[in-house]
């Protein structure tokens, strides 16, 4: 089955949703650069000694968090609502009457959302580096590994939300319910380095907190974030099969 035309059409239609485009693509970069420009302290050099670079601005510690935010936004707000809408409106049902299996529509949207995520993350990194002078990661491969695992874990979580929510409004509600604590654990509200120890410990075992901490470690060239990597892999291993198994097509 040639899924090409389905993928192109779905992409076009996806791009027509202003909310999806804003939150999925632009929001993380905008938040990073916007706050970086507005809050003066974010641009001051870090006082923490022992870093491989001296003049890095404070906002540097926020960049990995923004990458985690990009993952959380797409996987918890954009994607579950899209999938629940397909079900609620009967799009999946209608596809079931054609030779195109409905799971290919879901597959096409996973692809679209992954690409959107790469665009959003690149925009945040490029924006942070060019506008705010954030230095590039010390261990880019560690960052990449954590980013990929964050994506698999969080998309699995989003899939699970979409699997059971029978209405788009329910998917949106449940998504938000998980999204806001996720923001906390990822360090959007309290940056990771100043997070209370107990909170950091909890965050470490959540998929999004592990993602943020892992990417931060990679960015600053700290020790390999083994626990965080294992945590994200474990969440993926549990949530993905569950989401697939519980997914309701009608």
Partner 1 sequence: MAVTRSVAESATESAPGTSVVDVRNLRKTYPVKGGPEKVAVADVSFQVQRGEIFGILGPNGAGKTTTVECLAGLRRTDGGTVRLLGRDPQADPASVREDVGVQLQEAALHDRITVGEALDVFASFYERRADPAELMELLDLTEHRKVQFGKLSGGQKQRLSIALALVGKPQVAILDELTTGLDPAARRATWDLVERVRDSGVTILLVTHFMDEAERLCDRLVVIDRGTVVAQGTPTELTDSLGGDRGVRLRFADDAGRGRALDLLTALATRDDDVTGVTPAGGEIEVTGTRKVLFAVVRELAAADVVPDDVRTVTHTLEDVFVHVTGREYRADDDADDNENEEAA
List interacting residues with partner 1 (CB under 8 A): 1-2, 4-6, 9, 12-13, 16-17, 85, 89-91, 93-94, 96-100
Shorter beta-carbon distance to partner 1: residue 93 or 167: 93
User: Minimum distance from CB of 54 to partner 1 (Å)?
Assistant: 50
Least distance in angstroms from the C-beta of 11 to partner 1: 11
- Measured N-to-C along each axis, helices 168-186 and 79-89 cross at an angle, to the nearest 10 degrees, of 170
- CA 117 to CA 78: how far, in whole Å? 11
What minimum distance in Å lies between the beta carbon of 77 and partner 1? Answer: 18
According to DSSP, the residues that pair with 45 across neighbouring strands are 57
- Give whichever of 109 and 135 is closer to partner 1, judged by the CB atom: 109
- Rounded to whole angstroms, the Cα distance separating 116 from 88 reads 24
Secondary structure (3-state) at 188 = coil
Cβ-based nearer residue to partner 1, 55 or 98: 98
Beta carbons of 190 and 184 less than 8 angstroms apart: yes
- Please identify, using beta-carbon distances, which residue of 13 and 37 lies nearer to partner 1: 13
Query: Residue 126 contacts by C-beta under 8 Å, 6 or more apart in sequence?
Result: 29
Of 39 and 248, which has the nearer Cβ to partner 1? 248
In terms of phi and psi (left: phi > 0; alpha: psi -120 to 50; beta: otherwise), the region of 134 is beta
Give the alpha-carbon dihedral of 171, 117, 90, 107, to 10 degrees. Answer: -120
Tell me how far, at minimum, the Cβ of 6 lies from partner 1, in Å. Answer: 6
Residue with tokens 């470690």, as numbered in its chain:
217
List all residues 6 or more positions away from 22 whose beta carbon is below 8 Å from its beta carbon: none
CB of 10 to partner 1, least distance (A): 8
Which residues neighbour 130 within 8 Å (Cβ) at sequence distance 6 or greater? none
Which of 69, 162 has the CB closer to partner 1? 162
Which whole-number Å values give the CA distances from 225 to 44, 45, 121, 134, in the listed order?
27, 25, 20, 21
Q: How far is the CB of 85 from partner 1 (least distance, A)?
A: 8
In the complex, least distance from residue 176 CB atom to partner 1, rounded to whole angstroms: 22
> Nearer Cβ to partner 1, position 5 or 40?
5
């Amino acid at each position: 089955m040639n899924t090409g035309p389905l993928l192109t059409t779905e992409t076009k239609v996806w791009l027509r949703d202003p909310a999806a485009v804003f939150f999925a693509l632009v929001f993380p970069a905008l938040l990073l650069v916007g706050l970086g420009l507005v809050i003066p302290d974010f641009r001051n050099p870090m006082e923490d000694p022992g870093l491989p670079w001296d003049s890095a601005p404070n906002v540097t510690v926020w960049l990995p968090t923004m990458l985690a935010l990009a993952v959380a936004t797409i996987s918890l707000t954009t994607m579950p609502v899209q999938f629940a809408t397909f079900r609620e409106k009967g799009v999946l049902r209608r596809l079931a009457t054609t030779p195109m299996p409905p799971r290919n529509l879901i597959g096409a949207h996973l692809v679209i959302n992954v690409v959107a995520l790469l665009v959003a993350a690149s925009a945040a990194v490029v924006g942070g580096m060019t506008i705010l002078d954030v230095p590039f990661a010390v261990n880019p491969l560690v960052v990449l590994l954590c980013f990929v695992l964050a994506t698999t874990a969080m998309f699995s979580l989003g899939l699970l939300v979409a699997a059971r929510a029978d209405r788009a409004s329910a998917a949106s509600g449940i998504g938000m319910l998980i999204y806001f604590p996720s923001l906390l654990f990822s360090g959007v509200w309290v940056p990771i380095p100043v997070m209370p120890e107990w909170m950091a410990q909890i965050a470490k075992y959540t998929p999004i907190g592990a993602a943020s901490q892992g990417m931060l470690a990679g960015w600053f060239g700290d020790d390999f974030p083994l626990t965080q990597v294992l945590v994200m892999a474990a969440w993926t291993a549990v949530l993905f099969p569950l989401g697939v198994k519980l997914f309701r097509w009608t």
